[in-house]
Structure 1
Amino acid sequence: MTGRAVTLRLKRSYLVGLSAGLSLATMLSGCDMAPRYNPTKLTLPAQWEGQSHGVLQSAHPSDDAIRPDWWTLLGDADLNRLEEQAMRLNPTIQAQAEAFMQARDVAMEAKSHLYPQLNGAASGEKYKGSRHRLWRGAGAQGPVYMSSEQYTGTATWEPDFWSAIRNKVRMAKQGTQAEAAAYALARLSLQAELASDYVALRGLDAQDAVYRDSIHYYQAAVQVTKMRLAGAIAPGMDVSRAETQLYTTQAQETEVRARRDVMEHAIAVLVNQAPASFHIAPISQLAFADVEPPVALPSTLLERRPDIAEAERRMAQANRAIGISRAAFYPHVTFNAMTGFMDNGFDLASLSNSMYQFGVQALMPLFQGGLRRAELQRNWSQYREREDLYRATVLDAFQEVEDNLTRTTRLKTEAQQQGNAVTAALRTQTMTMALYTGGLTNYLDAVVAQVAALNARIALVQVQTRAVDARVELIRALGGGWSRAELPQSDKIMPFHPLQYGNLRHAAPLGGITTEGDPAASDLTSGSANMRQPLDISGAHR
């Protein structure tokens, strides 16, 4: 048998072995070392304790209990415009969208290791040796110049025997879903914060209107005391008391204006506007719609809250990490191959200048001083930690719902009671001032009545403001119309396919999340949200 025949037989045997190895790799690649994922089953209450007062009604689980544009329930056109602008231009939301897109790219990076890694290389060198180099004898005819041309292609593939790579891909996909939930949570938080700030601003407007109305009343009272002093039928102390009440109320009104300015600045930042160029015209009284959001059953809260969905996806990630650390105990196998041409000139036509190599490498951890076991134990602990955090998130969510159910129901009753107090206080103020004008009582009684009336009116505005804010917070606690079904599906997460090389600046939108910026985002000096109508306090109490 010739040497060439032996070589061909050895090559054929090696290829048969390589094919068998690849077949075995394909069969073993289905081994998943991650434990079966069983999310924590929580026993939940059948109804909300805060609904026992009968103010709110339950919605069926299949109902869209709260609309995604839930703030429209408040019936304020200015708030609607502000929310729309914030959703388009707020930089925090846009940054969160970029974090989601980066998570998609991380998933693509993990998936790329399932494919063979192909590389090409080309090199060329030219060398010159010294004619008088060591051991070059006199009269030597060996070459002094040498050139080399080399063109190679390499391929490396790691068969995923123990699903370590697949589990990394699944982890990355679950991380992307968690980022999508974080994006939804950021949107909901922004919507609720903007609505709460706007409600607080309008509450300060209503307080300012009350103070202005009271200032007009106190200015008239000062004139009455001065006229009585001029007629020698009242002491100068009455004038001093009336002026003290007037100036104190003016100072309180100035404080309310300062707080309003600060709240307006906060709203400006939320809608991507510089505070110096942003203004919302004041109003005279609260005018929000008196609506109550339908409240779904407690069991549906797990599907409605984006923070709960994020915590659950983090827990699923930790479960997959256990499979990756388990796979580290088994052999790590890599197939590699290289082929190409090398010559002292550009000559690819000659097969005699070709070269190749192929092989298999298996790396088996034998003793590492407990490194792998420590990693596995740590991943189990991290999974239990995520499980505990998930349960804590659910408990916090239930507390927020119960708190705001209680606030909504109690504040509605409190507003009615405070309204009765305002009616009585205004009646007392009117009667006391009439008695004083007629000389039947002293001005101290009038001051006491005035203070009581002003405090009652301010307290009523504050209770009404808190009641509206409680509804906003209740909607936020219920998920703000979000549903877990909005999370991106696992098979649609990848931002591009392996052979796509164009349109990579922005990934295609997914789940309503896009990184395509709005050109108006760079304009911080003006916006459609500016509202500059004049103040109207015609509806204020006199």
Structure 2
Amino acid sequence: MKLQLSRRGFLGLVTAAAQTSVYLLTGCMVGPKYIRPAVQTPPAYTAPVAEGGQDIGQVAWWHIFQDDELDHLESVAAIANEDIAIAVARYDKAAATTRTMRAGRLPQVGAVVGAERNREPKFRPNNATTGRAITYNDFATELTASYELDAWGRVRRSIQKSSALRQAASAEVSFVRLTVQAEIAADLCDVREADEELTILDEQIANASHAARLVGTRLHRGLSTAQDLQRTVALADQLQADRQVVSLRRTQFVTAIAILTGQPPERFTIAVRTRPLISPLIPAGVPAQLLLRRPDIAEAERQMSSASAGIGLAKANFLPTLTLTGLAGYQSTNAASLVDWQSTVESLAISAVAPIFTGGRRHAAEDQARAAYRESLEQYKKTVLQAYGGVEDQLAALESLKQQLRYQREVAEADRDVLRLAQQSYTAGLVSYLDVTTAQAALELSEQNICVLSGHAMVASVALIKELGGGWEEIPLP
């Protein structure tokens, strides 16, 4: 349907069209109204929860480890990490798409400037009276405008869909950033554990070497056997082999940190630093807070909102698309009279384009949109469930490591007593050096286990912080 109007009624109909546009813009919007689904939250975690500690939502969470090296690495990664940069680029792409959709709320205005020279043959209908061919010029300068009347909410649903995807991309940036931060912190904890373990091994190697010298002296005096000496040498060699394993593990963690901070591994180093491996207290809060603290949950929820808007968009495609178009300018066969009032041309038209037969494509598109929403809903529920499970696992892991450390320290204390008694008995000639080396190996293993368990507890603390959402808090997403 197309209606051509004269200049006389042009202004009046423009006003009427504008009023109609306002009405249509505030009119109905087909499709379901999105409501965030309620999810069941447990009243409390089943695993023991630490009391006290520093609220990780108040500061950059890695500060609770009080490690200047970690603070520096996190600041470098925020700028140089490739995964974060990729996520930011995805957000920028989603934001640009949203701006494109929002442009649909405004009229599209263009300009046409043209000049033509035409020749119509003698036997054209317009030349019947003259009986000869006509050659003429045609000049035009016009402004054109078109505007989709959003009667059914198609444009608004498109904006809702893209805006939700943009917000999901923003939450994804936060989640990727949190993941990178946690990986750096965990890897540095492993480096610190390796440093502490290397210190213990160096001390044990020195003790083993000293013991070998003492046994050698006793052998020279006829107080020990060659077998005793071989045992001490073998113990020292085993400790050297263990040191190589730990040193390699440290190198691998340093390389991982270099990659996470966007630096070439061959030029990246972390100075050896030994300090007590103490896990910080981390308040877990109540489970309901998890929905407000996890960026991946926020991302899943925004994906669900976008899918809901997609249903409305699919339903709007069943209805006619109403478009208002207008034209105003000058047309003349003579350039000298182009801007004369008598050369003005005005046009206003409204068109309705409705699909009649599409072979079931619209119904299939709606079914696809509804299936996408169901998929996003289940993904949201799964994300929430996994979040609760992740927190429970890490709380249980920390409690288990706490108990393991307590028992392992008791074992180490007992091993020290056994070694002391074995050394006294050996000096008195009551036992062979096998008893000493056996007791010494047991103590060395206990000390290494304490170091390893302490490092695992620090890594588990980082994992718990990540499961709790780090320092992220739910804020209005951009």
User: Fold match, TM over 0.5?
Assistant: yes
CA distance in structure 2 between the partners assigned to 1:438 and 1:279 by the alignment: 49
* Aligned length in residues: 463
* Matches for 1:457-496 after TM superposition, within 5 Å: 457-488=447-478
Q: State the 1:273 CA deviation.
A: 2.3
1:220 corresponds to: 210
Q: 2:291 aligns with which of 279, 287, 302?
A: 302
Work out whether residues 6 and 347 of structure 2, in 8 Å CA contact, stay in contact via their aligned partners in 1: no
Structure 1 residues 156 and 380 mapped into 2: Cα distance closer, same or farther (>3 Å)? Answer: same
Work out whether residues 66 and 475 of structure 1, in 8 Å CA contact, stay in contact via their aligned partners in 2: no
CA distance in structure 2 between the partners assigned to 1:65 and 1:284 by the alignment: 25
CA distance in structure 2 between the partners assigned to 1:486 and 1:321 by the alignment: 22
1:64-123 CA deviation, whole Å, 9 max, x = no partner?
A: 663231111122222222222222333332332232233222111101011110011323
Paired residue type of 2:44: Q
CA distance in structure 2 between the partners assigned to 1:173 and 1:236 by the alignment: 80
2:221 corresponds to: 231
Q: State the 1:237 CA deviation.
A: 2.3
Paired residue type of 2:411: A
Asked whether 1:177 is paired with 2:170, we answer no
Q: State the 1:196 CA deviation.
A: 0.6
1:112-168 CA deviation, whole Å, 9 max, x = no partner?
A: 011110011323456899xxxxxxxxxx99788x76543232111110011110111
> Does the residue aligned with 1:258 lie in a helix, a strand or coil?
helix
CA distance in structure 2 between the partners assigned to 1:250 and 1:159 by the alignment: 79
Q: 1:154 aligns with which of 144, 150, 161?
A: 144
CA distance in structure 2 between the partners assigned to 1:122 and 1:264 by the alignment: 65
Work out whether residues 66 and 293 of structure 1, in 8 Å CA contact, stay in contact via their aligned partners in 2: no
Q: Which runs of 5+ in 2 are unaligned?
A: 121-130
2:281 corresponds to: 292
CA distance in structure 1 between the partners assigned to 2:146 and 2:226 by the alignment: 100
Q: State the 1:276 CA deviation.
A: 2.2
1:166-197 CA deviation, whole Å, 9 max, x = no partner?
A: 11111121112111111111121121111111
CA distance in structure 2 between the partners assigned to 1:118 and 1:17 by the alignment: 18
Work out whether residues 65 and 296 of structure 1, in 8 Å CA contact, stay in contact via their aligned partners in 2: no
2:34 corresponds to: 37
> Does the residue aligned with 1:50 lie in a helix, a strand or coil?
coil
Structure 1 residues 27 and 467 mapped into 2: Cα distance closer, same or farther (>3 Å)? Answer: same
Q: State the 1:268 CA deviation.
A: 1.9
Paired residue type of 2:463: E
1:114 corresponds to: 105
* Matches for 1:414-425 after TM superposition, within 5 Å: 414-425=404-415
Q: State the 1:481 CA deviation.
A: 2.2
Asked whether 1:327 is paired with 2:316, we answer yes
Structure 1 residues 193 and 419 mapped into 2: Cα distance closer, same or farther (>3 Å)? Answer: same
Structure 1 residues 141 and 383 mapped into 2: Cα distance closer, same or farther (>3 Å)? Answer: closer
Structure 1 residues 426 and 301 mapped into 2: Cα distance closer, same or farther (>3 Å)? Answer: same
Work out whether residues 50 and 405 of structure 1, in 8 Å CA contact, stay in contact via their aligned partners in 2: yes
Q: TM-score, normalised by structure 1?
A: 0.79
Asked whether 1:276 is paired with 2:283, we answer no
CA distance in structure 2 between the partners assigned to 1:17 and 1:114 by the alignment: 20
Asked whether 1:68 is paired with 2:90, we answer no
> Does the residue aligned with 1:467 lie in a helix, a strand or coil?
helix
Q: 2:50 aligns with which of 39, 56, 77?
A: 56
Q: TM-score, normalised by structure 2?
A: 0.89
Q: 2:23 aligns with which of 23, 27, 30?
A: 27
1:494 corresponds to: none
CA distance in structure 2 between the partners assigned to 1:313 and 1:418 by the alignment: 47
1:498 corresponds to: none
1:540 corresponds to: none
> Does the residue aligned with 2:151 lie in a helix, a strand or coil?
coil
1:384 corresponds to: 374
Q: Please, which moves more after superposition, 340-349 or 167-176?
A: 340-349
Q: Please, which moves more after superposition, 88-97 or 204-213?
A: 88-97
Q: State the 1:21 CA deviation.
A: 5.3
Q: State the 1:220 CA deviation.
A: 1.2
Q: State the 1:248 CA deviation.
A: 1.6
Q: State the 1:372 CA deviation.
A: 0.8
Work out whether residues 317 and 362 of structure 2, in 8 Å CA contact, stay in contact via their aligned partners in 1: yes
CA distance in structure 1 between the partners assigned to 2:11 and 2:343 by the alignment: 22
Q: State the 1:486 CA deviation.
A: 5.0
Paired residue type of 2:265: P
Q: Give the percent of matched residue pairs that are identical in Structure 1 and Structure 2.
A: 28
1:285-322 CA deviation, whole Å, 9 max, x = no partner?
A: 4344x531222111111111111111111111111111
Work out whether residues 66 and 294 of structure 1, in 8 Å CA contact, stay in contact via their aligned partners in 2: no
Q: State the 1:410 CA deviation.
A: 2.0
Structure 1 residues 211 and 375 mapped into 2: Cα distance closer, same or farther (>3 Å)? Answer: same
CA distance in structure 1 between the partners assigned to 2:15 and 2:318 by the alignment: 25
Q: Which has the higher helix share?
A: 2
CA distance in structure 1 between the partners assigned to 2:219 and 2:78 by the alignment: 61
* Matches for 1:96-135 after TM superposition, within 5 Å: 96-124=87-115
> Does the residue aligned with 2:426 lie in a helix, a strand or coil?
helix
CA distance in structure 2 between the partners assigned to 1:431 and 1:58 by the alignment: 42
1:539 corresponds to: none
Structure 1 residues 343 and 301 mapped into 2: Cα distance closer, same or farther (>3 Å)? Answer: same
CA distance in structure 1 between the partners assigned to 2:333 and 2:236 by the alignment: 102
CA distance in structure 2 between the partners assigned to 1:404 and 1:147 by the alignment: 82
Q: Please, which moves more after superposition, 313-322 or 234-243?
A: 234-243
Paired residue type of 2:90: A
Structure 1 residues 93 and 388 mapped into 2: Cα distance closer, same or farther (>3 Å)? Answer: same
Structure 1 residues 124 and 454 mapped into 2: Cα distance closer, same or farther (>3 Å)? Answer: farther
> Does the residue aligned with 2:330 lie in a helix, a strand or coil?
strand
Work out whether residues 421 and 456 of structure 1, in 8 Å CA contact, stay in contact via their aligned partners in 2: yes
Structure 1 residues 323 and 142 mapped into 2: Cα distance closer, same or farther (>3 Å)? Answer: closer
Asked whether 1:411 is paired with 2:401, we answer yes
Work out whether residues 74 and 291 of structure 1, in 8 Å CA contact, stay in contact via their aligned partners in 2: yes
Q: State the 1:22 CA deviation.
A: 4.9
Q: Please, which moves more after superposition, 239-248 or 201-210?
A: 239-248
Paired residue type of 1:367: F
Q: Which runs of 5+ in 1 are unaligned?
A: 1-7, 130-139, 489-542
CA distance in structure 1 between the partners assigned to 2:334 and 2:16 by the alignment: 39
> Does the residue aligned with 1:31 lie in a helix, a strand or coil?
coil
CA distance in structure 2 between the partners assigned to 1:450 and 1:355 by the alignment: 103
Q: Please, which moves more after superposition, 118-127 or 469-478?
A: 118-127
Paired residue type of 2:38: K
CA distance in structure 2 between the partners assigned to 1:24 and 1:205 by the alignment: 74
CA distance in structure 2 between the partners assigned to 1:49 and 1:173 by the alignment: 38
Work out whether residues 67 and 481 of structure 1, in 8 Å CA contact, stay in contact via their aligned partners in 2: yes
Q: State the 1:261 CA deviation.
A: 1.1
CA distance in structure 1 between the partners assigned to 2:248 and 2:114 by the alignment: 72
Q: State the 1:443 CA deviation.
A: 2.5
Paired residue type of 2:305: A
CA distance in structure 2 between the partners assigned to 1:206 and 1:67 by the alignment: 30
Q: State the 1:25 CA deviation.
A: 4.1
CA distance in structure 2 between the partners assigned to 1:47 and 1:375 by the alignment: 43
1:370 corresponds to: 360
CA distance in structure 1 between the partners assigned to 2:447 and 2:32 by the alignment: 63
Q: 1:339 aligns with which of 322, 328, 336?
A: 328
